[in-house]
Structure 1
Amino acid sequence: MDIIKGSFRITILTIVLICITAFAGCVDNSKETSGDISGNSDVISVTDNFGREIVVPSDVKSVLCSGSGCMRYLVYLQSQDLAVGVDSIEKEWREIEGRPYALVHREKLYELPLFGEYRGKDDPEKVIDISPDLVFKTGSTGTSYGTSGAEADTLSAKTGIPVVAFPYGSLKNQAEKDEFYSGLRLMGKVLGKDERAEEVISYIEDIMADLKSRTKGIPEDEFKRVYVGGVSSAGAHGIISTEPAYPPFLWVNADNVASGLGSAHVDVAKEAIIDWDPDYIFIDVSTIQMENSGAIGQLKNDPALKGLTAKKTGNVYGVLPYNFYNANYETVFSDAYFIGKILYPERFSDINPEEKADEIYTFFVGEPVLDELNSQFNNTGFSKIDI
C-alpha cells in the first residue's frame, strides 16, 4: 500500500512540473533580448563617457542640455526639437552672437524654461519642474567649467532623472578628438541618431582630409609663417592672445610661430611676436568688442609693433571667432578654408571661402549664416584688415 501511495505522489508531482513547464513556455520572453538590464523594453542601459551605467528611456522625447557646448551637439544631431529647457546663456539676447546654432534656433530656445545658469550650474528644483526624460551634461576637460561623473551623479541623485555625461573634446589633438567623437556617438545612441552622428563625423574627417591634401607636398621650408592674435577665450582679447595648436593652421601646413607652447589658449609676450615676426597675421575679429578694436587697434597704433613684416606687407586678415561657449566647429572649418586660400591660393583655386562656409554652416546648424555672423563683427572676417 505504501508503495502504491508513493507512486501516486510521484505521478502528481510529475503532472505539476509538466504544467509549470508548459505555462512558462507560453510566457513572452522577448523583453529579455532587448539589451535592457532591467528586462523592460521601454528603457535601455548605456555607459556614458565617465564609465557610468545609466538606464534611460528607449524612445527619448525630451532632454535638457547642460554645460558649455552641449546644446550645439544636440543641434548637430538635428535633435534640437527635443530640448524642453535651456541654461541662462540661451536666454541672453546679445548684440554680438558668435554661436551659429543660436543664430538659427535662438528664437525657439529663448522661449523655453530656464533650468540653470550657464557652464553647467544646474538648479535641481527647476530640472525637476521641467521633468525631462534625461539630462545631457558636458564641458571642456581641464577647465573650470568642465564636468565629471561625480557632478552627473549628484544631479541625478537630487532630481531622480538620468544624467548622461561626457567631455566636450576638441580637434587640437587626437585625445580630445576622440572625446569629441565619443560624445557625439553617445548622444546619437541615446537619441536613436546613430546614423546622423556617423554622418557628422564622416563629414569632419572628409574636410580635414581635403584641407591636408591640398597642401600636401609643400616643402617644410616653404610653409608660410603665421600667427593668430586676439583669440577669444571666455571673452574678447588683444593681440597677445593666441592658440599654439590653432587647428586651421595645422590642417593647411602653416608654420604657427607660437607652436610648441602647448595646446591650450595662451597669452604670449608682445616681445615674442616681434621676435617671431610672422609673414602673415590673422586676427580673431571678436577682438573688436574691446576698446579701440583690441588687436586691430594695437597693430595700428602700438609703436612696438610697427616693424612687423605682416603689417608692412599688408598681410593681416580677419578670421571669425569660433570660441564662443566652447568651440563652434563649423566656424573652425570655415576659417581653415579662408586661411588656406590666403596662404596657398593656387591650391585653393576652386574654393570660394564664403560659399564654402555657408555649405558648412548649413550642414551643421541647418542654415547658411555666414553673412549674419560676419555682420556682427562689421564684416571684418574673411577680409584683409587695413592696418
Structure 2
Amino acid sequence: MKYTGIALAGAVLLIFALFTAGCAEQAKAVQTGTQETIKITDGFGRTVEVTVPPQKVICSNVGSLRYLVYLQAQDKVVAVDSIEKKVNQNDARGYALANPQFMSLPLFGEYRGKDDPEKIIAIAPDLIFKSSFSNTPAATNKENLDELQRKTKIPVVGFSIGGLRTESEKNELCLAFNLMGSIMGKDERAKEVIEYINATIEDLEKRTKDIPEASRRSVYIGGVALAGPHGLLSTEPAYPPFEWVNAKNIATQFGTEHADIAKEYITATDPEYIFVDLSTIQDTSGGSAIDQLKNDPAFKGLTAAKNGNVYGVLPYNWYATNIENMLADAYFIGKIVYPDQFADIDPVQKAEEITAFFDGMPLMDQYQKNFDDLVFKQISL
C-alpha cells in the first residue's frame, strides 16, 4: 500500500452517524519525504515520526492489542504483555481466544502498561502502540509516552481506548481505530469496523424506539468486572446494551462510570429483569453475583429472582471493554425483554456472526465452555 497523501485519520468519521465530527481533527498523518515515513499526531497531540507500514509492533496497556485484532493486523505483533501469557479458564477476551499464538510470543513487560524498556529494546519492534483509559490525564499520558520513547528510541503512538457509553468515549474510540488503521495500512478495515458498530446499534435502536415509556422494562446488570471479579452490587449505570434496546436501567442515576451501588437500592427499585455479567464466576469465595442471588435473603425476594428472570451475559470488561461481547449481549437482552421486537433473532447465532466479524472466528462454543454453559441462559437460583 502506498502512503502518499495519507488521509486524516479521523476523516472517515464524517460519514458515520455513530461518531461525532470532533474526531476528524484529532489525528493527522502526512508524508515527510519518502513513501514510508510519516508524521502522525497521536491521541494526545504528540507528533511522532513512524515508518509505515510497520512490520513489527507491540501493543501496550489495556485494549490496544484487542483493537489491532479488530483491524486484522495481528500478524505484525512480535511480543505481548504478561496478561496474554496467562491461562485463564474463564477468559472472555475474544481477541485472545481467537489468537492463541499470542501466548508463545516474547514478553515485553507486565500488563496494564508496566513496560520493560530493556526487553523492548531487545525485541526491537518498529513501533509501540500504547493505550490508556479515557479518564487518565493527558499530561500524564504524554509524560509516560515520551519517557518510553526516550528510553527505547522506538516510536510510541498513544491514544485513549474510548468506548460506547458517552459521545466523548465514542470520539476516542473512533480516533483509536482510524489512527491505528492509518499507520498499519488498514484504513478500509477501520472504516468497516466503525460502520459495523454503527449499523448494529442502529438496528438495535430501531427495533425498540417505538415502545411506549410505560411499557419499557426495568433492568439491572450486576457482577460487572473492574480490575477483577465483583459481586451483584458492581454495575454500569450507562450500560450501552440497555440504552440501545431502550430498557430502563435502574442504576442510570449513578452517572456514566462504573459504580458499586447499595443493596438497599436494588431491593427498593426491584428490577423486572437481572442480567449477570459472567465475569463474576471467577469469584469462588461465595461473593459472586450468582452466589449472592442464591443465598442473600434480600436478593432472593427480588421480583426477577422469584419470576426466573435472571440471565447470564458475556463479560463487559476484561482488560478493557469487549465491544463484540457488548453488541452480542444487546441482542440477547432485547430478545428477553422485548421478544416480539426480536422475534427474528437467534442470539447465539447473532453472537457467532459478531465475534467472527471482530475476532476472525465464531466463539460461542468457547465462551460456553469458559462460563459454565451460562451464556445467554436463565440462571437457576
Distance 1:361 1:301 in 2: 34
Which residue pairs with 1:142 in the alignment?
A: 135
Q: 1:356 aligns with which of 350, 354, 367?
A: 350
Question: Across the two proteins, how many residue pairs are aligned to each other?
Answer: 356
Residues 213-232 of structure 1 aligned to structure 2 (within 5 Å) = 213-232=206-225
Q: Give the superposition deviation at 1:147.
A: 6.8
2:44 aligned counterpart, secondary structure: coil
Unaligned runs of 5+ in 2: 7-28
Shift of 1:286: 1.7
2:184 to 188, 191, 194: 191
Q: How does 1:111-190 map to 2 (within 5 A)?
A: 111-142=104-135, 148-190=141-183
1:318-337 matched pairs, under 5 angstroms: 318-337=312-331
The Cα of 1:371 is off from its aligned counterpart by 1.3
| Pair 1:235 & 2:238 matched | no
Q: Secondary structure at the match of 2:327?
A: helix
The aligned counterpart of 2:306 is 312
Cα distance in 2 for partners of 1:238, 1:32 equals 52
Per mean C-alpha deviation after superposition, the further-off stretch among 314-323 and 165-174 is 314-323
Contact 2:230 2:287 in 1 (8 A): no
Pairing 1:378–2:372 present: yes
Matched residue, 1:277: 270
1:104 aligned residue:
98
Q: What corresponds to 1:39 in structure 2?
A: 33
* Distance in 1, Cα, partners of 2:323 & 2:229: 18
SS of residue paired to 1:260: helix
Take 2:55 and 2:31, find their aligned partners in 1: how far apart are those partners?
A: 21
Using the alignment, how far apart are the partners of 2:163 and 2:269 within structure 1? 27
Match of 2:244 in 1: 251
CA deviations on 1:98-144 (whole Å, 9 max, x unpaired) are 101111102x1111111111011111111111111110000212259
Q: Does 1:343 align with 2:337?
A: yes
Indicate how the Cα distance of structure 1 residues 37 and 367 shifts in structure 2: closer, same or farther if over 3 A, else same: closer
Is the 2:222–2:234 contact (alpha carbons within 8 Å) kept by the matching residues of 1? Answer: yes
Alignment partners' CA distance in 2, 1:357 and 1:234:
25
CA distance in 2, matches of 1:280, 1:37: 54
More helix by share: 1
> What code does the residue aligned with 2:343 have?
S
Asked whether the 8 Å contact 1:320–1:374 carries over to 2, the reply is no
TM-score scaled to structure 2, two decimals? 0.90
* Whole-angstrom distance in 1 between the partners of 2:103 and 2:327: 27
Distance 2:140 2:63 in 1: 12
Distance across 1 between alignment mates of 2:104 and 2:46: 32
- After superposition, what is the alpha-carbon deviation per residue over 1:14-55, rounded to whole angstroms, capped at 9, x for unaligned? xxxxxxxxxxxxxxxxx9989866423331111111111111
Amino acid aligned to 1:197: A
| 1:287 and 2:280 are equivalent in the alignment | yes
Q: 1: distance between equivalents of 2:272 and 2:44?
A: 44
Q: CA deviation at 1:376?
A: 1.0
User: In structure 1, how many angstroms separate the alpha carbons of the residues matched to 2:178 and 2:36?
Assistant: 21
Mapped to 1, the partners of 2:182 and 2:377 lie a distance apart of: 41
What CA distance in whole angstroms lies between the structure 2 residues aligned with 1:286 and 1:328?
Answer: 12
Letter in structure 2 aligned against 1:239? L
> Cα offset for 1:187?
0.2
DSSP-derived class of the 1:166 partner? strand
Q: Is the 8 A contact 2:57 2:128 kept in 1?
A: yes
Q: Which stretch shifts more, 304-313 or 36-45?
A: 36-45
Residues 171-191 of structure 1: per-residue CA shift (max 9 Å, x gap) = 001110110111100000011
CA distance in 2, matches of 1:77, 1:172: 21
TM-score with structure 1 setting the length: 0.89
Kept in 2: contact 1:138–1:147 (CA 8 A): no
1:67 aligns with 2:48: no
Q: Secondary structure at the match of 2:108?
A: strand
Structure 1 residue 297 displacement after superposition: 1.5
SS in structure 2 at match of 1:348: coil
Question: 2:256 aligns to what SS in structure 1?
Answer: coil
1:68-97 residue CA offsets vs partner (Å, 9 max, x unmatched) = 011001100100000011111111122221
Secondary structure of 1:65 counterpart = strand
Larger Rg: 1
Distance (whole Å) between structure 1 residues aligned to residue 197 and residue 143 of structure 2: 31
Q: CA deviation at 1:306?
A: 2.7
Contact 2:278/2:312 (<8 A) preserved: yes
> Secondary structure of the residue that 1:330 maps to in structure 2?
helix
Cα deviation, residue 287, structure 1: 1.4
Contact preservation (8 Å) 1:137, 1:147: no
1:307 shift after superposition: 2.1
User: Quick one: distance in 1 between partners of 2:367 and 2:378?
Assistant: 17
Please provide the CA RMSD for this pair.
1.9
Instruction: Say if 1:161 and 1:216 are closer, same or farther in 2 by CA, change over 3 A.
Output: same
